Structure 1
Amino acid sequence: MRFRTYLFYLMAVTLSLPLLVLTYTQYMMIEQEIERENTLLVEDASALSNNVKGRVLAAKGLVTMAANVYALEGQQNHYRLNKILIGLRDALPYFSNVHFDSPEGVTVAFDPPRNPKGESNIGVDHTQREHWKLVNGQDFPIVSDVIQAVGAASGPIVNIMSPAVNEKGTVVGYAVSALNLRALYDEVVAGLGLKDCVVWILDSKGMPIYANDRSDYKDAIMPREEIRKYLEGPKVVSKVNRPSGSNLVGVIAPIEGLDWVVGIFKRAEDRETMVLSLIATNLLIFLFLLLFSFMMARFACKPLTDNVSRLMLQVREGRAVPTPSEKVQTPLELVELQKAFCRLLGKVQSHQSEIKELKDHSSSSLSRELELTRDDAKFLRQIIMSSPQSIVITDSNGFIRLASERAVEQFGSINIGTSFKRLLRTKFELEDSGSERSGSDLVKLKETATGKEFLLFKSQSYIGSEKREIYVLSERI
């Protein structure tokens, strides 16, 4: 695997780790937000249930009280009965209409007195109406499910009916009210902050008393069996799958004292969109980081690639330094390095025996030459060290590498590696320069302490490729 690929993977991992941590943090924040929202849904469902219960029971109480007054007043005092009905509608704005019926089901007092067509609501036979079928023969208050209004009202309504029973226990009539479901909904949701929620108030059959996500109230929103399934489980947030429209996530809660339920939901797609948005955003960031890592890896390894490419050409051609025209232009030519090396390896293996013989012979010759060289070097060192002249040998930078015993005696002490010119200035003064003769220099010096004159002879030599300068100091006679 190429170095660029390794570098790309390394940078991708390095940049991806913070992104993964950020994604996890954002996901946990979304989870916490959903949990907080679920808690609010449970609390709002309970509050809405209590609000509906309170409003309906208040209406039921007023209707029962009106029935009791009706039982005392009788049917004769129509003015008094109408005043009671007007007071009831003023007390509760979600009363669509209220009326008193005779035991035979004929209205004896009604507010409002006329229906939308301008016809009188007094003396109308209600025996064929839905509410009469529920209350006829009963001696206790009844709250109906959703029914379709006929006559004085239109659309779906809920009737509250209470029998008027006199002192003898005889039913002398009925007090009946129709609830304005829209007005009731506005009353019960006030202050709950359910603007972005789907809210249902359903009767015992699953018919919508009110549902803010639909205008058609002809069909049940949820079968009774399914409602019972939700009510039997714990009061937690559940998902409601709908055949049409978006699925919902929320809570279904019973209304105590009534066979009704309330439901408060959020659209499941909103939550899914929130999670998908997080995934899409972080995926785009991840792809951007991968592209950035690739570009940075390519940029960072380009100098290395260029150098290896040049090395490939040098190996292939056998030269140390390539000319400008020989420099490679693309990293793809690195493949040539492998091919050239394989060819070279094949040639070396084919002449392995010759190479071994040559190596053995070279090693033997080299050992002999090295031994002779050591002896010659030792002999020359002894000559230099025992010379009566002061001899100092320096490298090309002027630092002392060797000094004869006479030089050490003359200068007092000499440390290997110190500058010879600096050492000269501590003992001698330069008088003038001599003439150059066949590559050597002759310099006149005067010893500072005694005033004696000396000649400094300089010559050059090479040990391999390293330059050496030889200085010989002798007293002038």
Structure 2
Amino acid sequence: MRFRTILFCISAAAATFPCVVLGLLQYSSAQNELAKEETNRKQISLYVSDRLDAKLESSLRLISVAAEYFKEERHQQEKLSRHLDELRRSAPEILNIHFDDAEGRSVAFSPRFNDRGEPNFGISHNGRDHWKGAGSSDVTVSGLVHAVGATRSDIVNITKSVYEGSEFLGLAVAALDLRELSDSVLKDLPDDKFRIAIFDRRGREIFSSSAKGTGAVNLTSSELKVVTKGASAISINGFLGILQPLSRSDWLVGVFSSETDRAGVYKKLIFNNLIVWLFTACTAILFGYAASVSVARAVEKLSKQMQAGRSLPDKSERVRSPKEIVQLQVLYSRMQKKLNEATERLSQLNRSLEDKVQAQVDVIHKQESMLRVVFSDISEGVVLLNREGGILFSNKAAKAVLSDRSLKLDEVIEAAIANPFGKIFREHEKVIYELRALKIDKDDLVVVLMRDATSEVQVDKLKDELIGVAAHELKTPLSCIRLEAEYLRNNSDRDALKSSAQALLDEADEMKSLISRWLDVARLESGSYMIHRELCLIKPLISKALKRFLRQDDFSCEVSISEEAKAAFIDKQAFLQILLNLFSNADRYRSAERPCRVSLHAERREDRLVITIADNGIGMERADCEKVFDRFYQCRMDSARRISGTGLGLFITKRLAELHEGTISVQSTPGVGSVFTIELPIFLKPGGDNDEQHQTDSPDY
């Protein structure tokens, strides 16, 4: 049903579109015809006005010629009459022409007799209309005159006063027949529907070529004002015309024709197009309905096949026509066959996938059981927690540790996540627990590993004490060795002995530096290392730290210090030790392919001094960055390059920064270089003293 509705709408639209286009074309054509008619009317008006002007000009010249005849031959009546006859025959629109003497009596007349056979000369014309303009030196044209003498027609008198010197001789008068004048003009027009109307200076109609006239009494003042400026269109009682003034008189001449009913033309156009549209639409709908019946039946058969999902239609579903639906059914049958085959393959694949998934699930369950057995029996505690901190799994060793209520597991997890590669120690009842937490980012899970590290911590403590004692005991013999080496270098005459003594001094200095580091570590671990913070300029300390390294040709350092970071409350020796360790680290881990370039920038951020030291060395991996501040840790190098050192420099640097209540961090890219960032407080805490000694706390495991 919806298909038919759409088909009917399409048919109606298909019928409407050409009808609308045809109507618009007809409307445009009608407008063009009306515009063409308007242009034609204007051209005809101009033509008629020019002809009337020419006729009137001819009549004026004729009366002027007649006036000359009258002046020269005024005493020869017969001769004057012959001249008047010749002049009248040359201008058919002149009804009569005559001469009046000074007393107003006609002395010559053409025609000589009126319609009743009475002579036209010897009659007194005093008081007649044409004597109203007597005495004027110019040719005058009167208004409309209804003749009562020689003729009974509506005429216009053209008068010329005749003088000889200053003596008034009389008048030369020509009666212009307006009807004959209009007929002579209109006879050249291709259509007889045009009419001429003449108006005087006051807008009154004085003549119309139509027997009924235009029906106008007069023109309005606004119409007169427009017409006197030139040609203008005007409508009078259903007549449309073009009015324009004549150049040789004060007449207004208009050419009128019946005004075209534009509204009627448009209504007729709309009505005709509406009939055509109705006929076309009905025809299209009928044809569309006839075509839709077969299409609807074919679509219904195809729909039944599609609902049943058959790849081949049965006898009742087979489409015979139209051809397009038949092709569609064939295509659908092929597609349905392929779809059935794909569905079967997909079912087989799904069954195979379910078997594999079940096998994987069985393997996972087996592995889970194995892992539970393994983790349950190991000596280290293992705890698996979810995002909310709930315990998902814990083995026997972990449960024993968790029974200690003083162990705050959430704090341990937060600290361990912040330092995933570090170890956290907690002591309870002389038992020291080592805990490590690893976050599984994908599942938001946390694994906590815990074990009893009491014996290891005690061994480390004994080792630190042993190192401290050994370092103290080595200082005295090392000083003696150094004095003997200096004596040999300064007093020996043998160059080889001097060279050996210098090498011995260098090794002694290196050993002295190592012992100093061991002692620093021992003091840091025991809590006896003290710093004295005072207000210092940092640039001299930086220059002092760089002095030993700048002696090398392939080592350079670019230093920049902002105005706000030139001074800070720091321990001079500790700060100098921090710089020496970082510069030494950059020098030792330099790239073999390029000179060592170091940049140091110091600035103030709020109330902290931030120092950034960047080098172009070999760099290190992210895992090394997390462990580089541990004791005795050194980055792994290839076998071709061995770098000496104890792995204590950065450990000491970090502890010295912490004694200043500051921090140190590193960012590194392998093959590019490393950037160390140190943040130290610029000022002492409120209530502090410049001479106050800051001592390390006891070790917190």
Q: Could you tell me the TM-score, scaled by structure 2's length?
A: 0.40
Match of 2:101 in 1: 102
Match of 1:280 in 2: 271
The aligned amino acid for 1:259 is D
Task: Indicate the larger mover: 122-131 or 298-307.
Answer: 298-307
Aligned runs of 1:324-363 on 2, under 5 Å?
Answer: none
CA deviation vs aligned residue, 1:414-459 (integer Å, no higher than 9, x gap): xxxxxxxxxxxxxxxxxxxxxxxxxxxxxxxxxxxxxxxxxxxxxx
Aligned runs of 1:429-468 on 2, under 5 Å?
Answer: none
Match of 1:455 in 2: none
Instruction: Tell me if 1:268 matches 2:259.
Output: yes
Deviation at 1:163, TM superposition (A): 0.7
Q: Distance in 1 between matches of 2:4 and 2:209?
A: 61
With over 3 angstroms needed to count, the CA separation of the structure-2 counterparts of 1:58 and 1:275, relative to structure 1, is same
Q: Distance in 1 between matches of 2:254 and 2:145?
A: 20
Q: Secondary structure at the match of 2:175?
A: strand
Deviation at 1:285, TM superposition (A): 0.5
Which of these residues, 148, 152, 172, is aligned with residue 175 of structure 1?
A: 172
May I ask how many residue pairs the two structures share in their alignment? 312
Match of 2:81 in 1: 82
Q: Distance in 1 between matches of 2:236 and 2:49?
A: 22
The aligned amino acid for 2:273 is N
The aligned amino acid for 2:159 is M
With over 3 angstroms needed to count, the CA separation of the structure-2 counterparts of 1:140 and 1:278, relative to structure 1, is same
- C-alpha RMSD over aligned residues: 3.5
Q: Could you tell me the TM-score, scaled by structure 1's length?
A: 0.58
Residues 230 and 252 in structure 1, CA contact (< 8 A), matched pair in contact too? no
Residues 179 and 209 in structure 2, CA contact (< 8 A), matched pair in contact too? no
The aligned amino acid for 2:138 is F
The aligned amino acid for 2:82 is K
Q: Distance in 1 between matches of 2:196 and 2:262?
A: 17
Match of 1:39 in 2: 39
With over 3 angstroms needed to count, the CA separation of the structure-2 counterparts of 1:30 and 1:289, relative to structure 1, is same
Q: Distance in 1 between matches of 2:216 and 2:33?
A: 32
Match of 2:138 in 1: 140
Instruction: Tell me if 1:157 matches 2:151.
Output: no
Instruction: Tell me if 1:211 matches 2:208.
Output: yes
Query: Could you list the runs of 5+ residues in structure 1 that have no partner in the other structure?
Result: 312-320, 324-369, 375-477
Deviation at 1:177, TM superposition (A): 0.9
Q: Distance in 1 between matches of 2:131 and 2:116?
A: 22
Q: Distance in 2 between matches of 1:9 and 1:213?
A: 57
With over 3 angstroms needed to count, the CA separation of the structure-2 counterparts of 1:178 and 1:233, relative to structure 1, is closer
Match of 2:121 in 1: 122
Deviation at 1:215, TM superposition (A): 4.1
With over 3 angstroms needed to count, the CA separation of the structure-2 counterparts of 1:2 and 1:104, relative to structure 1, is farther
Residues 197 and 253 in structure 2, CA contact (< 8 A), matched pair in contact too? yes
Query: Could you list the runs of 5+ residues in structure 2 that have no partner in the other structure?
Result: 303-313, 317-346, 352-701
Instruction: Tell me if 1:196 matches 2:196.
Output: no
Q: Distance in 2 between matches of 1:298 and 1:106?
A: 96
Q: Distance in 2 between matches of 1:307 and 1:287?
A: 30
Q: Distance in 1 between matches of 2:39 and 2:167?
A: 50
Deviation at 1:160, TM superposition (A): 0.6
Q: Whose Rg is larger?
A: 2
The aligned amino acid for 1:183 is E
The aligned amino acid for 1:148 is H
The aligned amino acid for 1:71 is K
With over 3 angstroms needed to count, the CA separation of the structure-2 counterparts of 1:220 and 1:286, relative to structure 1, is closer
The aligned amino acid for 2:140 is I
Q: Distance in 1 between matches of 2:194 and 2:143?
A: 24
CA deviation vs aligned residue, 1:369-415 (integer Å, no higher than 9, x gap): x99xx9xxxxxxxxxxxxxxxxxxxxxxxxxxxxxxxxxxxxxxxxx
With over 3 angstroms needed to count, the CA separation of the structure-2 counterparts of 1:99 and 1:262, relative to structure 1, is same
With over 3 angstroms needed to count, the CA separation of the structure-2 counterparts of 1:292 and 1:272, relative to structure 1, is same
Residues 96 and 180 in structure 1, CA contact (< 8 A), matched pair in contact too? yes
Match of 1:228 in 2: 224
Residues 182 and 209 in structure 2, CA contact (< 8 A), matched pair in contact too? no
Q: Percent identity?
A: 30
Match of 2:112 in 1: 113
Q: Distance in 2 between matches of 1:85 and 1:71?
A: 13
Residues 182 and 196 in structure 2, CA contact (< 8 A), matched pair in contact too? no
With over 3 angstroms needed to count, the CA separation of the structure-2 counterparts of 1:271 and 1:282, relative to structure 1, is same
Q: Secondary structure at the match of 1:295?
A: helix
Residues 56 and 248 in structure 2, CA contact (< 8 A), matched pair in contact too? no
Q: Distance in 2 between matches of 1:287 and 1:12?
A: 9
